[in-house]
Homo-oligomer: A and B are copies of this chain.
Amino acid sequence: MTESSTAPRPTLEAVAARAGVSRATVSRVVNGGDGVREPLVERVRRAVDELGYVPNQAARSLVTRRHDAVAVVIAEPETRVFADPFFALQLRGISKELTAHDSQLVLLLTEGRDDHVRVGRYLAGGHVDGALVFSLHLDDRLPGLIHGAGVPTVYGGRPGWGDGTRGAVYVDSDNRGGAREAVRHLVALGRTRVAHITGALDQTSAVDRLDGFRDVMVDADPRLIVEGDFTPAGGERAMRELLDRCPELDAVFAANDLMASGALRVLRERGRRVPEDVALIGFDDMLPVAEQTDPPLTTVRQDIEEMGRLMARLLLRGLDRRSATEPAAAGSVAQSGLVGAPSSVVLPTTLVRRASA
């Protein structure tokens, strides 16, 4: 039977005693070991192993003010999130990158607006070295709170224009460009009555995709644009409305795959053949959805995992640089809290042609 935490964990002191050196020497070895001669390093290493020594992070943070931990804030009030693998993929990317840098991932899920204050307080509390923030809605006050907390931050997706977002560093997909490409493809197919099911318009990604749609369909009949909400049910609803308003439409660009799948069901239900009667394009290339519909979905791919990885990389890089320049940089630390501000990144998208368009 394990008596957990019964055995007091060995301290630096204990290791030092065992190896017959001073604490400082052990500390040096544990933290990289330069400046200590080989035989000693060896002896310390052995002592560490024998004792099963693991540094006490709390003690270390207390003096270094570093935590080797990054908060990931997912600000999603709706259950919706969990229906799509989006976050899981981002998390995976982030996790990989953080692990490679020996940083931990502290996950902050917010349920409602009240939670934002809690998150703000947590970040202000200096528990983490930085924050990665997702899924903002335009009216969120989170950026303001985060800004106030003064924690280096990278956003996933371009934040809105609210408080604290000016100069924020973010990683985003080329939503507008991707949308343009999708719609152009539909046009190239000879479709003339192209409709658009938007995402939830309180998110910049939805707005950008709508803009992309408009870039190509410059004077689109306003009846051909319906607001959705990124869910399959929303896609169904929107598709019904489109069909009612404008039965002669011959193509649909949905702002994500989930809505496209809903739209697809409605189209079939109403007896339209896809892609013969109506061509359909989604967005995301969410494999389990896009590949498994019938017909498989033509869609705009964004590399979600890579986005996560990149966010983490940007943050960590900024952090490193900051600690490197520590004393001098006070003045040049920008809004993001990152030195020499790594600028935002917009990743390209690619059109994946399957059967639906």
A residues with a Cβ closer than 8 A to B are: 1-7, 9, 52, 54-59, 61-62, 65, 67, 69, 72, 81-85, 87-89, 91-92, 95-96, 99, 104-109, 111, 115, 118, 121-122, 124-127, 147-148, 150-152, 167, 232, 258, 261-262, 265, 287-288, 292, 294, 330-331, 333-335, 337
Contacts and interface: CB of A to CB of B under 8 A. Distances in A.
B125 A55 contact: yes
Contact of A333 (B4, B232, B334): B4
Contact of A150 (B2, B87, B337): B2
A62 B58 CA distance: 5
A121 B104 CA distance: 13
A62 B54 contact: no
A271 to B, nearest CB: 15
B55 A58 contact: no
A58 B67 contact: yes
A2 B261 contact: no
A109 B91 contact: yes
20 contacts: A2-B148, A4-B150, A4-B151, A4-B152, A4-B333, A5-B65, A6-B333, A9-B126, A52-B124, A54-B126, A56-B125, A58-B61, A62-B62, A69-B106, A95-B107, A99-B109, A104-B106, A105-B107, A106-B107, A265-B294
Contacts of A107: 72, 91, 95, 105-107
8 closest A-B pairs by CB: A4-B337, A4-B150, A82-B88, A58-B61, A95-B109, A54-B125, A58-B62, A83-B288
Contact of A292 (B167, B265, B337): B265
